[in-house]
Amino acid sequence: MQMIEKAIVKASQLPCFKNPKDIQPLSGGITNVNLCISDGGQRFVVRMGTDIPEHGIMRWNELELSKAAEAADISPKVHYHEEGVLVLQYIQAKTYDEKAVRKPENLERIIKLIKKTHEYTANFLETPILTFWPFQINRTYIKRLQKNNSIHCSILPQMQQNLEKLETAIGPVQLVVGHNDLLAANILDDGNRLWLIDWEYGGYNSPLFDLAGLASNNSMSKDQELHMLEQYYNHNPEKFWQPYQTMKCVSLMRETLWSMTAEIFSEIDFDYSSYTSKNLKRFENAFDQI
């Protein structure tokens, strides 16, 4: 039985549902299986996935952040959870793509959402959570790739050297609760407001990482980046430009190493090789500019 079919069977038997119907797979998940299910006149999203140590994904951490983000009115309601399963309220909304993120009217709303996330989510945490320090994460990715004889081993020593230069350059950082995975697909627009979903990589980090991830994952222009920093910090963005550029490189390196690792370990049907190539080019271009 295929992964999706097994997931559908399991979802249909969850105790939180009385009469589950119309169970359909949702596209977009590249670290877990996502399903949409109807029950009692409501719709829900069922996220299925166990811990993924090679990516630092711990489902207890995702759950605690999902609950805190719900309480902060940032993310959908957590309806039910058990080991390997997270059931969320379904939001009838449009999922953004890169082009939508770059639209000025959308980008301004997204930055407000990110700032709200950073300022309020921590107030609703009920347990300690993980810290997402991208330099250490990238180091562990490099070590794991070398240990598992990745096809990319020849370029890893240079990436390690570049990582050390970037960590030296970043300097002191502020810590906030960050989402740390600001792909366009994790931003929903219901026509009235925005929602932020998928907290697998959430944890304490510099706010610059989320801003840099938003820009690098969505091909924003320099003018858009400067406007983003100006809106977020409410004053001259030039003060933050260099550390922001540094964090942008680290974000792109992390996305590249993440994909290289997924090429080895993931069982999800996704073209990780192409994703690696795209993000490696993005990283090299960003690193050359600083």
- Radius of gyration (Cα) for the chain, nearest Å? 19
| Same domain, residue pair 109 and 221 | yes
Percentage of the chain modeled with pLDDT above 70: 99
Over the stretch 59-101, which tens digit does the pLDDT of each residue have? 999 999 999 999 999 999 999 999 999 999 999 999 999 999 9
Q: How much is the pLDDT for 30? A: 65
| Same domain, residue pair 68 and 184 | no
What CATH number has the domain bearing residue 82?
3.30.200.20
Q: How much is the pLDDT for 290? A: 82
Q: How much is the pLDDT for 236? A: 78
Q: Which residue has the higher pLDDT, 209 or 268?
A: 209
Q: Tell me: pLDDT of 51 over 70.
A: yes
Q: How much is the pLDDT for 274? A: 97
| Same domain, residue pair 77 and 114 | no
Domain boundary among 65, 89, 113: 89
Over the stretch 158-207, which tens digit does the pLDDT of each residue have? 999 999 999 999 988 999 999 999 999 999 999 999 999 999 999 999 99
- Average pLDDT over all residues of the chain: 94
Domain boundary among 89, 114, 129: 89
| Same domain, residue pair 169 and 275 | yes
| Same domain, residue pair 109 and 186 | yes
Q: Which residues fall within 8 angstroms of residue 47, CB to CB, at 6 or more apart?
A: 29, 32, 33, 34, 85, 86, 87, 88
What CATH number has the domain bearing residue 103?
3.90.1200.10
**Residue holding tokens 């304490």?**
204
Q: How much is the pLDDT for 171? A: 87
| Same domain, residue pair 79 and 115 | no
- Which structural domain range is residue 29 located in? 3-89
| Same domain, residue pair 60 and 113 | no
Where residue 235 falls among pLDDT bands split at 50, 70, 90? confident
Contact 33, 42 (CB under 8 A): no
| Same domain, residue pair 39 and 63 | yes
| Same domain, residue pair 279 and 199 | yes
| Same domain, residue pair 261 and 175 | yes
Separation in Å, CA 240 to CA 104, 267, 270: 21, 39, 36
Over the stretch 113-138, which tens digit does the pLDDT of each residue have? 999 999 999 999 999 999 999 999 99
Query: Nearest-CA neighbor of 214 among 112, 140, 93, 143?
Result: 112
Contact 269, 152 (CB under 8 A): no
| Same domain, residue pair 207 and 63 | no
| Same domain, residue pair 72 and 132 | no
Where residue 273 falls among pLDDT bands split at 50, 70, 90? very high
Please give the tally of structural domains in the chain: 2
Task: Tell me the whole-structure pTM to 2 decimals.
Answer: 0.92
Q: How much is the pLDDT for 221? A: 94
Q: What is the DSSP string of 103-161?
A: SHHHHHHHHHHHHHHHHHGGGG--S---B--HHHHHHHHHHHHHHTT-TTGGGHHHHHH
Q: How much is the pLDDT for 238? A: 83
- Averaged over 236-242, what is the pLDDT? 86
Contact 23, 29 (CB under 8 A): no
Q: How much is the pLDDT for 28? A: 63
